[in-house]
Amino acid sequence: SRPAQASGSRFAFDELQAGVDTKHHVAQGYDADILIRWGDPVVKGAPAFDVQKQTADAQEKQFGYNNDYIGYVPLPLGSTTSDHGLLVVNHEYTDAAIMFPGLADAKGEFELSAQSKEQIDIEMAAHGQSVIEIKRGADGKWAVVPDSAYGRRITARSTEFLVTGPAAGHDRLKTSADATGTKVIGTINNCAGGTTPWGTTVHAEENFNGYFGGELKDDHPEARNYKRYGLGEAEYGWSLHHDRFDLVKEPNEPNRFGWVVEIDPTDPTSTPKKRTAMGRFKHEGAESIVAKDGRVVFYMGDDQRFDYLYKFVTAGKFNPADRKANMDLLDEGTLYVAKFDADGKVAWMPVVFGQGPLTEANGFKSQADVLIETRRAGDLLGATKMDRPEDVQPNPVNGKVYVILTNNDKRKAEQVDAVNPRPENKFGHIVEILPTDGDHAATTASWDLLVKCGDPSVAAVGATFHPGTTQNGWFGSPDNCEIDADGRLWVATDGNNYKYSGRADGIWGLETEGEARGTGKLFFRVPVGAEMCGPKITPDLATFFVSVQHPGEGGKEWPEFGRPSTFADPSTRWPDFQDGVPPRPSVVVITKQGGGKIGA
């Protein structure tokens, strides 16, 4: 029997049953095929994946680990072609216990010092981005174009980035390897991102802190800065083999991470840029829209409990007739941080040196200082402390901006405010922002709550999904989102959560308009242990790319499926299901059987 459908919802598909198992699932009538997996070839001449003989040099040419954001750039450039294009995919982080045979014990644990330098270098090569060329064949199936001239890996191990904008060349960015303060090897923890109107992609450096070892003394000039970003607790062993990740040896290196990076995927020889004008924090993503006057506005979340929501407005205007003229738009503009009030208003406060408290009296000598310590600038400005801002995406159809707040179980009752209304917010919520006069460059806006997430059948949760939402249709811990060409909002979850709900992460269509506003519908779900990232729909709405990240991770949370997550753990080996092959993070491509628009 078919599950009940919500009336008035624009998401016309038979809803998937919520649940969790070792496989991925999509709504009836759709195919969900593996497009590319960790270890598959990206750069011409890449060796075949051999999990028993991994090397950093091989990984440099292969698809990286833990795919997250997916950018789609149609080919030819500037077109809306939906059967040929480039995918630019983030590789956010690595799971050494699952990647390397014999490393972890039966509990999934290992000492950082137990890793070889080669393993560390493989991890560094598995971070960053992949650029792949993809085509849809006559049979309707997508495939990676083999040996494409566009194929590129950007890694934390070998790719040189140029630092640009107000903090470029500042003393606080200089290291013994780079006296200029403008050249950085690599990008790390790239979570979500965005695709610019001029066909480049932007990628957020999120939890950069965990890659650094060592500890600075309290009287070190960077101690206050680093404390604010959570540095000092290494989660990776990189500093044991590379001095630049050791805070004591290279105290300025962390100031070179935490930025938004821009990549031109159409030119494999181009140097990627770290755009400091957009601030330094734990960037989740950077989705943009062209404002009424032609300036470009990027919305950005800082994904930490009680951190802030930002936007960046370029000084220059987008020139649709001259791509080159747009290539450095991200170096000049104004960064703003949001203050929400209880009357439904938003004030965007400039994060600009010399304005308000951002002065020498508070330790800022220039805009570079303000940007390097963006979070402290936000603190001084009195920005609103949010429940972990993840994706923030403007909807070009209705003019609103969708702010995904994933959860914050540390918010106490006395810390509740209008826009973060729940204490111990385990399930998150979604806020809508409506810019004043529809102008995204405006410094004021109004806001509204779209939905408080969680199981609506449990009164104590306080969820506010539309009553037409079925038991499959509600979700928790929203993270990434996609707004398709028809203006429909699709939400991906992270930690939905098996622990809380016994159901896998996935993709839900969430109605934002009309009578069915607030109705969720489940479309796709991931295998156990995985998180859902990177939802991206082609301009013709016929293809939906999704990232299945960290399949098989966190086994301790799901004892029903067997053991903790280690290489040896046979409880899930998605998607290959072969002995001796661990689970492999992969991009999945969803199409409708017989063709046509997704969800229509």
Q: Can you give the binding site for ligand FEO, defined by CB under 6 A?
A: 92, 191, 206, 284, 303, 390, 479
Which CB atom, from 92 or from 246, has the smaller least distance to ligand FEO? 92
Of the candidates 455, 499, 497, the residue with the CA atom closest to the CA atom of residue 479 = 497
Q: Which does 121 bind (CB under 5 to 8 A by kind): ligand FEO, Ca ion, none?
A: none
Q: Which of ligand FEO, Ca ion, none binds 206 (CB below 5-8 Å, type-dependent)?
A: ligand FEO
d(CA 15, CA 10): 13
* Of residues 225 and 304, the one with the C-beta less far from ligand FEO: 304
Measured in degrees and rounded to the nearest 5, phi and psi for residue 291 equal -75, 170
Q: Which is nearer to ligand FEO, 299 or 567 (CB)?
A: 299
- The entry of ligand FEO, Ca ion, none near residue 253 (CB within 5 to 8 angstroms by kind) is none
CA distance 81 to 89: 19
Instruction: Give the Å distances, CA to CA, from 83 to 72, 142, 408.
Output: 11, 8, 40
CA distance 370 to 181: 17
In sequence order, the 6+-apart residues with CB closer than 8 A to the CB of 360 are none
Tell me how far apart the alpha carbons of residues 545 and 532 are, in angstroms, rounded to a whole number.
11
Task: Name the E strands within 196-308.
Answer: 201-205, 260-263, 273-275, 287-290, 295-301, 305-307
Q: With respect to ligand FEO, which residue has the nearer C-beta, 205 or 511?
A: 205
Residues 240/315, Cβ–Cβ less than 8 Å = no
Residue 387 interacting partner from ligand FEO, Ca ion, none (CB closer than 5 to 8 Å by kind): none
Judged by CB, which is closer to Ca ion: 302, or 494?
494
Distance of closest approach, residue 387 Cβ to ligand FEO, in angstroms: 12
User: What's the min distance (Å) between Cβ of 216 and ligand FEO?
Assistant: 25
User: Nearest distance from residue 504's CB to Ca ion, in Å?
Assistant: 15
d(CA 169, CA 372): 12
Q: Which residue has its beta carbon closest to Ca ion?
A: 494
Identify what 133 binds: Ca ion, ligand FEO, none; CB under 5 to 8 Å per kind: none
Write down the least CB distance from residue 549 to Ca ion, Å: 5
- Residue type, position 443, single letter: T
* Beta carbon nearer to Ca ion, 27 or 89: 89
Q: Tell me which residue of 204, 188, 531, 209 sits closest to 393, measured CA to CA.
A: 204
Least distance in angstroms from the C-beta of 303 to ligand FEO: 4
Find out whether the peptide bond into 74 is cis, omega within 30 degrees of 0. no
Cβ-in-10-Å burial (0-12, 13-18, 19+) of 181 comes to buried
Give least dist CB 2 to Ca ion, A: 32
Q: How far is the CB of 549 from ligand FEO (least distance, A)?
A: 9
Tell the smallest beta-carbon distance from residue 191 to ligand FEO (Å): 3
The phi-psi region of residue 273 (left if phi > 0; otherwise alpha if psi is between -120 and 50; otherwise beta) is beta
Q: Which is nearer to ligand FEO, 204 or 358 (CB)?
A: 204
Q: Which does 511 bind (CB under 5 to 8 A by kind): ligand FEO, Ca ion, none?
A: none
Return the structure tokens found at 449. Answer: 């709550």
Find the shortest distance in angstroms from Cβ 352 to Ca ion. 28
> CB under 5 to 8 A by kind: which of ligand FEO, Ca ion, none does 95 bind?
none
Structure letter (DSSP) for residue 46: P
Q: What residue 131 binds from ligand FEO, Ca ion, none (CB within 5 to 8 A, per partner kind)? A: none
CA dihedral over 438, 312, 261, 587, signed as positive or negative? negative
Based on the number of CB atoms within 10 Å of its own CB, is 296 exposed (0-12), middle (13-18) or buried (19 or more)? buried
Q: To the nearest whole angstrom, how small is the minimum distance from the Cβ of residue 257 to Ca ion?
A: 17
Residue entry with tokens 């800022």: 364
* CB 376 within 8 Å of CB 386: no
- Least distance to ligand FEO from the beta carbon of 388, Å? 7
Lay out the sheet containing 586-592: strands in order across.
30-37, 586-592, 543-549, 531-537
DSSP 3-state of 596: coil
Contact positions vs Ca ion (CB under 5 A): 191, 479, 494
* Shorter beta-carbon distance to Ca ion: residue 261 or 441: 261
The whole-angstrom separation of Cα 590 and Cα 208 is 32
Decide if 522 contacts 16 (C-beta within 8 A): yes
SS3 84: strand
The full DSSP string for 408-456 is BTT--GGG--SSS--TTBSS-EEEEEEEGGG-TT-SEEEEEEEEE-S-T
Partner from Ca ion, ligand FEO, none binding residue 98, C-beta < 5-8 Å depending on class: none
Nearer to ligand FEO, 88 or 290 (CB): 88
- Whose Cβ is closer to Ca ion: residue 123's or residue 479's? 479
CB of 469 to Ca ion, least distance (A): 22
Tokens coding 27 = 């709504």
Q: Residue 331 binds what, of ligand FEO, Ca ion, none (CB under 5 to 8 Å, by partner type)?
A: none
CB nearer ligand FEO, residue 262 or residue 479? 479
Q: Closer to ligand FEO by CB, 92 or 553: give it.
A: 92
* Residue 87 near residue 70, CB atoms below 8 Å: yes
- Residue 206 C-beta: closest distance to Ca ion, Å: 7
287 binding partner (options ligand FEO, Ca ion, none; Cβ < 5 to 8 Å by kind)? none
* CB nearer to Ca ion: pick between 166 and 389: 389
